[in-house]
């Protein structure tokens, strides 16, 4: 226990890396999910085909496999380019490899979430908006998006809960995140259980806190008595 | 540039890895299911004392990363002399058994929640009809409630099966030669950047699609009566 207290600042540093990784990953995933959903809903046959391939392939591959592929494969590709340009050896960032992989994976899940939420919006509303002469952009901002947020929020919360747990496997490419640092510290003081138990509790706190935030958000965004469409 | 011959010549290693992955996943799912059936029923019925305990188990395992759980069991338990001196040590020092125990407990927690949900949403009429026919409490449970709940749990359980398959990749982190383990070993042996992992990704994708097809077939078989009702 004294060891755990002595290492608390280090674990706090790791916690910050993990939180940053999760948030950057979520931002990337949201962007890709929005693009994917837009492509699936309004795109032509080529866009739809690309999105279909993206979501199908990504959802068939485990997170760790994709992280290793992006990190080691990325290292090779970047250095092949660097070699051709005579720049010298380039070190690919572990953090960004992890964030990219997480964003890429959960973007595929969010594509389905956003598309599903869009499908829940009654067609009549969009037809009515068009009949009133609203421009495409006005329909998007005033009719579609506000409701999309409402319908997508519970699915979005689910994806986030899975995503945050995925950050742990990025420690496998020896990123100095919460689990990575705890692993090193626990081994050096020969108290692995104590340190992994601390990581366990911190992750439990992550999920607990985010669940409460999303519960609040869901209450905030749903209209009372109008939940039938969700 | 791609070293395909190294992959083709070692395809038997990958097949062995696939067997390891399938075996770990299948046994963990089976044990998990055996844990989940009584736990899910107890949770749905809010059995006093037992139900909050099960709730704590489910919450802890669903709220933390599988890799952290695996580290706690595999590296963590060795911290305690009581464990090292106990009869269970020959089992607990083996990576294989640690992975199997962790995966089973993890899958048990997710499946408990799925079964709880399915049991809780059983239409009252089904139970009332069975009672009215003079079935005993046990008969209602085993002939009506459980079969009906398991059928309706099928789509979600299918997700859990894929989730467990993908989760099992962390076994490679504790030196087990599953699909990813073989990919990483070959990468290290032949100084390849991505070929081994890419091959592993293809194996996982094929397994995932096989499972998705299997569950689609099962749903068609066992949920037909529900599809007609809509």
Interface test with B, best of A22, A53, A65, A189 (most B CBs within 10 A): A65
pLDDT score for B31: 98
CATH assignment of the domain containing A129: 1.10.3720.10
pLDDT at A136 over 60: yes
Which pLDDT score is estimated for B228?
57
Whether residue A165 and residue B66 make contact (CB cut-off 8 A), yes or no, is yes
Question: Residue B1 — pLDDT band, cuts 50, 70, 90?
Answer: low
Q: Tens digits of per-residue pLDDT, B8-66?
A: 888 999 999 999 999 999 999 999 999 999 999 999 999 999 999 999 999 999 999 99
How many domains, chain B? 1
Confidence band, pLDDT 50/70/90 cuts, at residue A227: low
Distance CA B171, CA A34 (A): 33
- pLDDT at B196 > cutoff 50: yes
Closest approach of A128 to chain B, Cα-based (Å): 28
pLDDT in tens, A157-198: 999 999 999 999 999 998 999 999 999 999 999 999 999 999
- Mark out chain A residues that contact chain B at CB-CB < 8 A: 57, 59-66, 68-69, 72-73, 75-76, 165-169, 171-172, 179, 183, 186-187, 190-194, 196-197, 199-200, 203-204, 207-208
Q: Count how many domains chain A has.
A: 1
A169·B67 Cβ contact <8 A: yes
Q: What are the tens digits of pLDDT across the range A84-134?
A: 888 878 888 999 999 999 999 999 999 999 999 999 888 899 899 999 999
B79 CB-contact burial (10 Å; exposed 0-12 / middle 13-18 / buried 19+):
middle
Q: What is the pLDDT of residues B47-62, one digit of tens each?
A: 999 999 999 999 999 9
With 80 as the cut, is the pLDDT of residue A228 above it?
A: no
| pLDDT confidence tier of residue B230, bands split at 50, 70 and 90 | very low
Pick the more confident residue, B67 or A227: B67
**Candidates B173, B194, B205; nearest CB to A69:** B194
Confidence band, pLDDT 50/70/90 cuts, at residue A82: confident
Percent of chain B surpassing pLDDT 90 = 80
Structural tokens at position A204: 């439990």
Q: Closest-CA residue in chain B for A192?
A: B76
- The CA distance from A190 to A217, in Å, is 43
pLDDT value at A76 more than 60: yes
Partner A, chain B 50-69, Cβ-Cβ below 8 Å: 59-60, 62-69
First to last CA, chain B: 54
pLDDT score of A230:
42
Q: Do B77 and A57 touch (CB under 8 A)?
A: no
Q: Which domain holds residue B64?
A: 4-229
Across chain A, what does the average pLDDT equal?
91
| pLDDT single digits (tens) B120-169 | 999 999 999 999 999 999 999 999 999 999 999 999 999 999 999 999 99
CATH number of the domain that B45 lies in? Answer: 1.10.3720.10
Residue (of B108, B100, B92) closest to B37 by Cα position: B108
pLDDT in tens, A3-32: 888 999 999 999 999 999 999 999 999 999
What confidence score (pLDDT) does residue A78 get?
87
CB A89 within 8 A of CB A16: no
CB-based contact, B161 to chain A, within 8 Å: no
Contact criterion met (CB below 8 Å) for B40 and B119: yes
CA distance to partner chain A, nearest, from residue B45 (Å): 24
pLDDT at A229 over 50: no
Check B68 against A192: CB less than 8 A apart: no
């Amino acid at each position: 226990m004294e060891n755990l207290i002595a290492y608390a600042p280090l674990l706090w540093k790791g916690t910050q890396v993990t939180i940053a990784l999760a948030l950057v990953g979520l931002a990337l995933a949201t962007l890709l999910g929005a693009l994917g959903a837009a492509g699936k809903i309004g795109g032509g046959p080529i866009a739809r085909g690309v999105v279909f391939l993206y979501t199908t392939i990504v959802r068939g591959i485990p997170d760790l496999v994709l992280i290793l592929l992006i990190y080691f494969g990325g290292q090779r590709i970047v250095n092949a380019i660097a070699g051709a340009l005579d720049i010298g050896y380039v070190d690919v960032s572990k953090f960004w490899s992890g964030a990219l992989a997480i964003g890429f994976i959960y973007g595929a899940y969010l594509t389905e979430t956003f598309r599903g939420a869009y499908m829940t919006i009654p067609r009549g509303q969009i037809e009515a908006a068009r009949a009133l002469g609203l421009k495409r952009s006005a329909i998007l901002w005033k009719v579609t998006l506000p409701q999309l947020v409402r319908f997508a929020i519970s699915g979005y919360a689910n994806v986030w809960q899975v995503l945050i747990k995925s950050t742990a496997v990025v420690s496998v490419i020896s990123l100095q995140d919460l689990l990575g640092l705890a692993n090193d510290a626990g081994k050096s003081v020969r108290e692995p259980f104590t340190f992994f138990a601390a990581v366990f509790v911190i992750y439990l706190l992550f999920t607990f806190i985010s669940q409460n935030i999303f519960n609040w958000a869901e209450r905030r965004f749903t209209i009372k008595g109008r939940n039938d469409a969700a | 540039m791609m070293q395909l011959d190294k992959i083709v010549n070692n395809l038997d290693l990958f097949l062995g890895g696939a067997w390891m992955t399938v075996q770990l996943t299948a046994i963990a799912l089976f044990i998990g299911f055996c844990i989940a059936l009584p736990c899910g029923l107890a949770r749905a019925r809010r059995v006093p004392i037992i139900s909050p305990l099960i709730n704590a188990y489910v919450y802890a395992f669903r709220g933390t990363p599988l890799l952290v759980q695996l580290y706690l069991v595999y590296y963590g338990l060795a911290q305690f002399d009581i464990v090292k001196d106990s009869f269970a040590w020959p089992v607990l020092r083996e990576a294989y058994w640690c992975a199997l125990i962790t995966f089973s407990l993890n899958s048990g927690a997710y499946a408990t929640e799925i079964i709880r949900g399915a049991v809780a949403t059983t239409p009252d009429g089904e139970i009332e009809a069975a009672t009215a026919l003079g079935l005993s409490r046990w008969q209602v449970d085993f002939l009506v409630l459980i079969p009906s709940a398991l059928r309706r749990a099928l789509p979600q359980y299918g997700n859990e099966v894929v989730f467990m398959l993908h989760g099992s990749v962390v076994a490679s982190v504790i030196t087990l030669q599953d699909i990813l383990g073989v990919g990483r070993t070959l990468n290290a042996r032949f100084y390849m950047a991505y070929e081994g992992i890419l091959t592993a990704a293809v194996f996982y994708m094929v397994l995932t699609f096989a499972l998705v097809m299997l569950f689609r077939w099962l749903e068609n078989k066992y949920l037909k009566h529900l599809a007609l009702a809509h």
